[in-house]
Amino acid sequence: MAKTEAKPDVRPGCILTMGEILVEILATEIGQSFRQAGTLIGPFASGAPAIFIDQVAKCGSPCAIIGCVGDDDFGALNVERLREDGVDVSGISVIKAATTGSAFVTYRKDGDRDFIYNITNSASGHLSVSEIREHLLKDCRHFHVMGSSLFSFRIIEAMKSVIETVKANGGTVSFDPNIRKEMLRIPEMREALDFILDYTDVFLPSGHEVMLLASASTEKAAIDELLNRGVREVVVKRGKDGCSYYDGKDERHVQALPVTEVDPTGAGDCFGGTYIACRAQGMTVERALAYAGAAGARAVTYRGPMEGTATLAELDAFIKERAGVSHG
**Residue 24 Ramachandran class (φ > 0 left, ψ -120 to 50 alpha, else beta):** beta
Alpha-carbon span 313 to 59, nearest angstrom: 9
CB closer to ligand ATP out of 112 and 134: 112
Minimum distance of ligand ATP from residue 86's CB (angstroms): 22
CB closer to Mg ion out of 98 and 143: 143
CB closer to Mg ion out of 133 and 303: 303
CB closer to ligand ATP out of 75 and 268: 268
Minimum distance of ligand ATP from residue 256's CB (angstroms): 3
CB closer to Mg ion out of 115 and 133: 115
Burial of 181 (0-12, 13-18, 19+ CB in 10 A): exposed
Task: Establish if 274 lies at the interface with Mg ion (CB under 5 A).
Answer: no
Please list, in sequence order, all residues whose beta carbon lies within 8 angstroms of the beta carbon of residue 296, skipping any fewer than 6 positions away: 237, 243, 256, 267, 268, 270, 271, 274
Task: Establish if 91 lies at the interface with Mg ion (CB under 5 A).
Answer: no
Per-residue mark of binding to Mg ion, 185-224 (x: CB under 5 A)? ----------------------------------------
Interface positions with ligand ATP (CB under 6 A): 178, 206, 237-240, 242-243, 256-257, 259, 261, 264-265, 267-268, 271, 293, 296-297, 300
Q: Are 173 and 167 in contact (CB under 8 A)?
A: yes
Q: Please select the residue that binds Mg ion; options are 268, 273, 296, 304, rule is CB under 5 A.
A: 268
Task: Establish if 178 lies at the interface with Mg ion (CB under 5 A).
Answer: yes
- State the pairing for strand pair 14-18/140-146: parallel
CB closer to Mg ion out of 67 and 147: 147
Distances (CA, A) of 271 to 204, 230, 295, 306: 9, 22, 5, 12
Long-range contacts, 25-31 (Cβ 8 Å, 24+): 25/102, 25/103, 25/104, 25/105, 26/104, 26/105, 26/107, 26/263, 26/303, 26/304, 27/104, 27/105, 27/106, 27/107, 30/107, 30/108, 30/109, 31/106, 31/107, 31/108, 31/109
Minimum distance of Mg ion from residue 234's CB (angstroms): 14
Q: Which of the listed partners (ligand ATP, Mg ion, none) does 259 bind, with a CB threshold of 5 to 8 Å by partner kind? A: ligand ATP
Residue nearest to Mg ion (CB): 268
Q: Which of the listed partners (ligand ATP, Mg ion, none) does 64 bind, with a CB threshold of 5 to 8 Å by partner kind? A: none
Interacting span for Mg ion (CB under 5 A) from 9-17, 36-44, 129-137, 260-268: 260-268
Alpha-carbon span 143 to 139, nearest angstrom: 11
- Binding residues (CB under 5 A) for Mg ion: these are 178, 268
